[in-house]
Amino acid sequence: MRGRSVEIPSLIQPKTCRTFSTSRYNPGMLTAAIALFALVSAQVRIPDVPFLATPDDVVDRMLDMAKVGPGDVVYDLGCGDGRIVIAAARKFGARGVGVDINPVRVAEANENARKAGVENLVTFRVQDVMETDVSEATVVTLYMLAEINVKLRPRLTVQLRPGARIVSHTFGIGDWEPEQVVTFKDKMGTMRTLYRWTADGKIRP
């Protein structure tokens, strides 16, 4: 099929024809275009936090801190390009769910999971984190803002089973005291702070 050409009538110049070469077909571009169309046409809510990826070496520290293993189910709330749950699946065989309000990010995450060969372990969906059921998660990762973390706290503390770990990049969760805080320089020399909590069955509004 490589290089096969089909003729598509032009809407602009009805009497002429344009040539469309299937050799230029790029599945990644098509996925991005569909996602962009979905975003525009559905008038999806503006994200509460812009996309800023956690560098890969910091992702590794987050997974270590959460003690992720093969039996875990890792939820990344505001998953961006999916790197945290993809790394958990690739390195530890953990199952993962990523949710993001931006369909472009979810399309990227699905494409990245396919490239990493972990589509069988991870799921990405377009969803508001304020509506995500996290009850099956054994690990939740966050890289949102402080006020979003506070808004998520009732949901996290009601739904997570005792023993589930929460690891947040940069931001705390209001006055919920973390059990561990680590500060370090990442590979690029940027200071990073990570926080960890373990769900204990106590509801924190």
Q: In the complex, what is the shortest distance from the CB of residue 82 to ligand SAM, in angstroms, rounded to a whole number?
A: 8
Please give the angle made by the CA atoms of 121, 54 and 106, to the nearest 5 degrees.
Answer: 45
Question: What is the rounded distance in angstroms from the CA atom of residue 111 to the CA atom of residue 116?
Answer: 9
- Out of 35, 66, 79, 86, the residue judged to bind ligand SAM by CB under 6 A: 79
Least separation in angstroms between residue 205's CB and ligand SAM is: 19
Instruction: Please tell me what DSSP assigns to residue 47.
Output: P
Taking the least distance from each CB to ligand SAM, the nearer of 121 and 152 is 152
| CA separation for the pair 15, 10 (Å, rounded) | 8
Cα angle, residue 47 at apex, residues 78 and 167 outer, rounded to 5°: 25
Which one of 1, 11, 52, 203 is in contact with ligand SAM (CB under 6 A)?
52
Count of C-beta atoms within a 10 Å radius of residue 124: 27
The verdict on 172 binding ligand SAM (CB under 6 A) reads no
The residue sitting closest to ligand SAM, measured at its beta carbon, is 78
Q: How far is the CB of 148 from ligand SAM (least distance, A)?
A: 7
Judged by CB under 6 A, the stretch of 32-40, 79-87, 158-166, 182-190 that binds ligand SAM is: 79-87
Distance CA 142, CA 133 (A): 15
- Of 46, 204, 62, 45, give the one whose Cα is nearest residue 142: 62
Footprint (CB under 6 A) of ligand SAM, residues 93-152: 99-102, 105, 128-129, 143
Residues that bind ligand SAM (CB under 6 A): 47-49, 51-54, 76, 78-80, 83-84, 99-102, 105, 128-129, 143, 169
